[in-house]
Amino acid sequence: MKTKKRYEWFLFFSLLGIYTISFGQQKPVLIDKLATPETKALYANLHKLSKKHILFGHQHATQYGHGWMGDENRSDVQSVTGSHPAVIGVDFSGLSGMPDSLVKMNAALLKKNIEDTYNRGGVTTASWHFNNPAGGDFYWKDSSSVAAVPLLLPGASLHTKYIFILKNIAALANACVGKDGKKVPIIFRPYHELDGNWFWWGKKHCSAADIKALWQFTVRYLRDSLHVHNFIYAFSPDCTFNNVEEFTERYPGDEWVDMVGMDDYADFGRYGQYNLEAAYAKLKLISDFAVQHRKLAALTETGLESIPNSNWWTATLLNTLKMPKLRLCYVLVWRNDAHSPTHYYAPFPGQFSAPDFIRFYEDKFTLFENDLRKMYKP
């Protein structure tokens, strides 16, 4: 009897161990062991919500919109639905490459935007259209651009300049504090679309080893030297990959990334071309990779400029996001330019797709800011 009892207990704890391994490993873990409690809570809540929902995001949603700029507590999405997006995209482009007075002004505007989003209960993600430290803007120009990635690495000619730029980012991150006195968590998405060739950090302009080294240094310096503990680091290439090997060609490693995603306009109607099967295959690859590597996954950028398709939101975007076995925490569409009559990616009152967007908003699968509850609490 004793032998049988011992065997039963051994079997019980063995099965418990298998259960813990198979399910416990699916929970993602932040790469920053000193991450603030609010950052940990946001990360865990994004993971939890991604099981049954997806957060909707819009770039620069509350900074400006179609025909307006700088209005207090306004967004085109809110004007159509009554709620701001759940995720607000900002950009760190204004923190370098211009006079100090302008950098300070940009930092102050960013700080207010990020804090306001946090105080309302929303989520901030920051892209970085980083002007080339060797001269010029963020786009690659064959006639004038310099391949700057290797020049930013430790010991290279622009490394000191790069450190100064990172200090500006860290100063902003550490200064963003909500009404509760807590630092605001930010999903930081540097060097996005690094598999394309249109940015100076793109595939043709640096080796995979160099961009990985730059990413790793960036995270290490912000986290360990500048004590930024409210970042969630997101890796998001463009949609040029077809398999895991291509997706991870420039991936810096699991210890340097919290979230994986992609920017995909090409499969969602750009130039009238739709390939939703390809979009799903890539999203499934990203989602599976995230589960296997204990990361979050997202569709970090997408959209259809001018939204000429009246049911694009439900028939194209929502149907794709609802396809089987996808686990994505958010989707973000690009900005609505304040001055251009055609450069917009979210509807505004009277826009052709606004009725369908309301259906997208009302679907239980999608979450907007008004749907969020205590994202920064465990």
User: Distance between CA 294 and CA 28 in Å, rounded?
Assistant: 4
Chain-centroid distance of CA 149 in Å reads 22
* Distance separating the N- and C-terminal Cα atoms of the chain: 45
Q: 359 — phi, psi (to 5°)? A: -65, -40
Query: Is residue 301 among the annotated active site residues?
Result: yes
Q: Are 238 and 263 in contact (CB under 8 A)?
A: yes
Query: Is residue 369 among the annotated active site residues?
Result: no
Ramachandran region, residue 232 (left: φ > 0; alpha: ψ -120 to 50; beta: rest):
beta
- Rounded to the nearest 10 degrees, the angle between the axes of helix 159-175 and helix 100-120 is 40
Which ranges constitute the DSSP H helices of 251-368? 276-293, 319-321, 354-362
Strand 64-65 and strand 68-69: the pairing is antiparallel
Q: Which residues of 84-121 are buried (b: 16+ CB within 10 A; e: fewer)?
A: bbbbbbbbbbbbbbeeeeebeebbeebbebbbbbbebb
User: Distance between CA 316 and CA 377 in Å, rounded?
Assistant: 34
Question: Could you say which of 8, 249, 301, 362 is catalytic?
Answer: 301
Chain-centroid distance of CA 76 in Å reads 20
Question: Could you say which of 72, 193, 255, 305 is catalytic?
Answer: 193
CA neighbor of 295 nearest in space, from 20, 43, 24:
43
Q: Are 48 and 327 in contact (CB under 8 A)?
A: no
User: Distance between CA 281 and CA 295 in Å, rounded?
Assistant: 18
**Residues with catalytic roles:** 193, 301
